[in-house]
């Protein structure tokens, strides 16, 4: 109860915060374009230096913002900058060179740390020290630049970790730095691996003085798993956050989220989540209240026809995918308010999405817990508390439908049965009494229920970005054959990298038996006239 209160209070405080500027008053900040290369032997040293500087420069106020290159997973950095200019009164001055950036923010920096390009993991240790000691992270070539500004060398990791395993390096770093790090935040600097790293979220980790790692969460990697488990075990459940993402080379998303869920830690990220030390300090604009585009008219009865009703939900959170697609808004689409869009850490970002939503954009809660968890991995005594936090977030964000995903049996994306047992379905019904529906799965699921006219539906089709249009059309028509009763309710989970125009092209070929409806309308009809079979995980 205390934990859910924490979130509620945080949300209310954020909602009530007055933006400190008076009308007409402008605020100065700096912006810089980042290069489009993430290799250790390419431009990663530039990124590492700048993102560490950003974490320090933004301490106390939002001052430094980056444009990320075209094709970056979060494509909104230019749009957001314009939005902040307009809504928050920022005037951005553009910086061109690293030297200029360091000189501009020299007073925010106490020293520098040298990472070892020969040992990739040394960069994660350097990021940890950067937050603790207010130091920029430099490659050996960048040392003269730092010294020209009169910065002192605080650490030099060249050669220090040569020949050591990641487990050995992180064990040393844990002993050396963890006691000084915040235990409310941990940064997983995973994602791409090998010669590359995309440390977009490092500024937020540095800003919060977090420990950086990419330890494997696969139980088969016994040493790394044990250390990751130990670190997370020292964080406070439910109110602590893990920024970033797992390493694609070490483990699966399922391993990572399962371990976080076991410790009831709240995932925020990806590792590429940009400019967060800047954005996290922006409150909601005065008087703003989150208002979803509900399609249900109170008191109206929704009687389905003998049809196939289909609704689209985009996967993977708001900041990724098709939000900036010019075709957004031409037909009803639901969006998961998950992953890198925590209301706690990014209220201004949330406001941006709500303000730019069209009447056809409908937000739903996600994913299994605040941010992203797997309910079967959450200790049973915590599950009601987790859902209570979600209930408060759903109230704050004006959400009525909740998305749940489960993969803690480490099943792969395409084969395993990742359904929910009845007890967990019970917990969501009990904990979210205002919900008008639940959407379950990522790929298709097979957990179904209906209680008090509130349906619990699984995604019945996963539209990957690669599936040819004609095959996807045939798949959906085949599902309609395989589910012969009418109405048939078909919730389609659309991979975020699918363009809206492509989805539209598929929907147009489905024929007159199909009717595209907003998700809340589909849920309402499914609750009134269910034709699906109640199922749970058979354990």
Q: What φ, ψ does residue 147 adopt, rounded to 5°?
A: -70, -30
168 vs 478 by CB, closer to other proteins: 478
Binding other proteins (rule: CB under 8 A), the pick from 488, 507, 514, 522 is 488
CB atoms < 10 A from the CB of 129, how many? 25
Residues in 426-445 at the binding interface with other proteins, rule: CB under 8 A: 443-445
With respect to other proteins, which residue has the nearer C-beta, 212 or 532? 532
- Output the CA torsion sign for 400, 290, 334, 441: negative
Q: How far is the CB of 476 from other proteins (least distance, A)?
A: 9
Compute how many residues bind other proteins; rule: CB under 8 A: 43
Non-local CB neighbours of 124 within 8 Å, separated by 6+ positions: 173, 189, 212, 213, 214
Query: What is the CA angle 457-460-462, rounded to 5?
Result: 125
Report the site for other proteins in 241-280 (rule: CB under 8 A). 252
Q: What pairing do the DSSP bridges indicate for beta strands 437-440 and 454-458?
A: parallel
**CA separation (Å) from 463 to 65, 230, 405?**
35, 38, 16
The residue among 131 and 443 lying less far from other proteins, judged by its C-beta, is 443
CA distance 470 to 368: 33
483 binds other proteins (CB under 8 A): yes
Residue 305 is a binding residue for other proteins (CB under 8 A): no
Task: Kindly state whether residue 539 participates in binding other proteins, applying the rule CB under 8 A.
Answer: no
Q: Which of 505, 476, 474 is nearest to 492 (CA)?
A: 476
Whose CA is closest to 19, among 27, 9, 11?
27
Interaction between residue 533 and other proteins (CB under 8 A): yes
Token digits of residue 526: 């499914």
The pair phi, psi for residue 266, each rounded to 5°, is -100, 115
Is residue 471 within the footprint of other proteins (CB under 8 A)?
yes
When asked if residue 477 is in the footprint of other proteins (CB under 8 A), the reply is: yes
Among 50, 344, 393, 463, binds other proteins (CB under 8 A): 463
Stretch that binds other proteins, among 14-22, 175-183, 369-377, 462-470 (CB under 8 A): 462-470
Distance of alpha carbon 406 from alpha carbon 408, whole angstroms = 6
Based on the shown chain and the rule CB under 8 A, indicate whether residue 306 belongs to the binding site for other proteins.
no
Q: Give yes or no for residue 2 binding other proteins (CB under 8 A).
A: no
| Cα distance between residue 60 and residue 241, in whole Å | 20
Binding segment for other proteins (CB under 8 A), chosen from 239-247, 299-307, 348-356, 457-465, is 457-465
Residue number with CB closer to other proteins (62 or 445):
445
| 107 versus 538: smaller Cβ distance to other proteins | 538
* From 207, 290, 459, 536, residue interacting with other proteins (rule: CB under 8 A): 459
In the block, which residue shows the tokens 């099943």?
A: 411
C-beta separation of 262 from 383 below 8 A: no
- The HSE-up count of residue 389 (CA atoms within 13 Å, CB side) is 28
| Binding status of residue 415 toward other proteins by CB under 8 A | yes
By the rule CB under 8 A, 70 interacts with other proteins: no
The pair of three-digit structure tokens given for residue 37, joined into one six-digit string: 């290369």
Nearer to other proteins, 363 or 488 (CB): 488
Stretch that binds other proteins, among 54-62, 127-135, 173-181, 406-414 (CB under 8 A): 406-414
Q: What is the DSSP letter of 218?
A: -
Interface with other proteins includes 307 (CB under 8 A)? no
Does residue 422 belong to the site contacting other proteins (CB under 8 A)?
Answer: no
| Residue 401 phi, psi dihedral angles, 5° rounding | -120, 140
- Segment interacting with other proteins, rule: CB under 8 A, options 165-173, 258-266, 361-369, 469-477: 469-477
| 5 in contact with other proteins (CB under 8 A) | no
Could you tell me which stretch among 202-210, 292-300, 383-391, 479-487 binds other proteins (CB under 8 A)? 479-487
Q: Does 225 bind other proteins (CB under 8 A)?
A: no
Nearer to other proteins, 286 or 505 (CB): 505
Provide the residue count of the chain. 539
As a whole number of angstroms, the distance between CA 357 and CA 12 comes to 22
Measured CA to CA, the distance from residue 436 to residue 438 in angstroms comes to 7
Q: Which residues of this protein are in contact with other proteins, per CB under 8 A?
A: 252, 410, 412-417, 443-446, 448, 457-464, 466-468, 470-471, 473-475, 477-479, 481-485, 488-489, 531-533, 538
């Amino acid at each position: 109860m205390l934990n859910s209160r924490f979130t509620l209070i945080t949300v209310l405080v954020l909602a009530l915060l007055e933006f400190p500027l008076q009308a007409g008053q402008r605020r100065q900040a700096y912006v810089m374009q980042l290069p489009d290369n993430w290799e250790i032997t390419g431009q990663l040293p530039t990124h590492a230096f700048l993102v560490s500087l950003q974490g320090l420069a933004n301490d106390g106020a939002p001052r430094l913002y980056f444009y990320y290159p075209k094709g970056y997973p979060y494509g909104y950095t230019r749009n957001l900058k314009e939005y902040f200019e307009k809504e928050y009164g920022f005037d951005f001055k553009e910086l061109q060179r690293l030297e200029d950036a360091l000189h501009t923010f020299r007073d925010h920096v106490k020293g520098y740390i040298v990472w070892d390009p020969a040992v990739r993991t040394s960069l994660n240790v350097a990021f940890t020290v950067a937050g603790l000691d207010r130091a920029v992270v430099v490659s050996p070539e960048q040392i003269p630049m730092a010294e020209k500004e009169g910065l002192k060398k605080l650490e030099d990791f060249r050669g220090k970790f040569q020949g050591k395993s990641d487990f050995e390096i992180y064990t040393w770093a844990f002993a050396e730095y963890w006691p000084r790090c915040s235990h409310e935040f941990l940064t997983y600097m995973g994602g791409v691996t090998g010669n590359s790293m995309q440390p977009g979220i490092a500024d937020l980790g540095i800003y919060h003085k977090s420990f950086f790692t990419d330890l494997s969460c696969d139980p088969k990697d016994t040493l790394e798993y044990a250390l990751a488990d130990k670190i997370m075990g020292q964080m406070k459940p439910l109110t602590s956050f893990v920024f970033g993402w797992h390493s694609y080379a070490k483990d699966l998303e399922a391993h990572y989220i399962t371990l976080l869920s076991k410790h009831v830690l709240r995932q925020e990220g990806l590792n590429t989540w940009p400019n967060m030390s800047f954005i996290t300090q922006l409150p909601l604009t005065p008087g703003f209240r989150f208002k979803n585009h509900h399609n249900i008219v109170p008191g109206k009865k929704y009687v389905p026809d003998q049809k196939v009703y289909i609704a689209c939900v985009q996967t993977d959170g708001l900041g990724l995918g098709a939000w900036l697609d010019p075709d957004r808004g031409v037909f009803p689409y639901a969006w998961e308010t998950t992953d890198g869009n925590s209301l706690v850490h990014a209220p201004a970002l949330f406001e941006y999405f709500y303000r730019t939503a069209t009447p056809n954009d409908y937000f739903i809660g996600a994913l299994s817990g605040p941010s992203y968890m797997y309910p079967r991995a959450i200790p049973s005594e915590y599950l009601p508390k987790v859902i209570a936090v979600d209930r408060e977030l759903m109230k704050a964000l004006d959400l009525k439908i909740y998305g749940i995903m489960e993969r803690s049996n480490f099943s792969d994306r395409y084969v395993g049965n990742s359904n929910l047992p009845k007890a967990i379905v019970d917990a969501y019904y009990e904990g979210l009494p205002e919900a008008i529906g639940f959407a379950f799965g990522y790929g298709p699921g097979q957990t179904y229920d209906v209680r008090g006219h509130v349906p619990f539906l699984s995604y019945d089709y996963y539209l990957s970005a690669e599936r040819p249009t004609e095959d996807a059309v045939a798949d959906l028509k085949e599902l309609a054959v395989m589910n012969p009763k009418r109405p048939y309710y078909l919730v389609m989970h659309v991979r975020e990298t699918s363009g809206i125009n492509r989805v539209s092209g598929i929907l147009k070929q489905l024929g007159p038996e199909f009717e595209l409806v907003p998700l809340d309308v589909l849920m309402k009809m499914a609750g009134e006239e269910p034709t699906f079979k109640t199922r749970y995980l058979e354990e």
